[in-house]
């Protein structure tokens, strides 16, 4: 999706089913970073 965005592709609707970012408490930090990155991309 990032590559398509850089290429100028535009869509009216995108259905996203993101993966689980946190599967255990020890993964919370990296999971939050992944979610924030996905959310920032989604808002472009």
pLDDT digits (tens, 9 = 90+) for 20-41: 777 888 888 888 888 888 777 7
Cα 15 to the center of its chain, rounded Å = 12
In this model, does residue 18 exceed pLDDT 70?
no
Report pTM: 0.44
Instruction: Determine the Cα–Cα distance for residues 12 and 37; give it in Å rounded to an integer.
Output: 21
Q: Where are the alpha helices (DSSP H) in 1-44?
A: 2-6, 28-42
Task: Give the structural domain span for 15.
Answer: 2-42
Tally of structural domains, the chain: 1
Q: Give the pLDDT of residue 22.
A: 78
């Amino acid at each position: 999706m990032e590559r398509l965005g850089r290429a100028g592709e535009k869509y009216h609707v995108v259905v996203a089913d993101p993966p689980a970012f946190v599967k255990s408490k020890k993964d919370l930090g990296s999971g939050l970073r992944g979610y924030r990155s996905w959310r920032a991309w989604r808002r472009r």
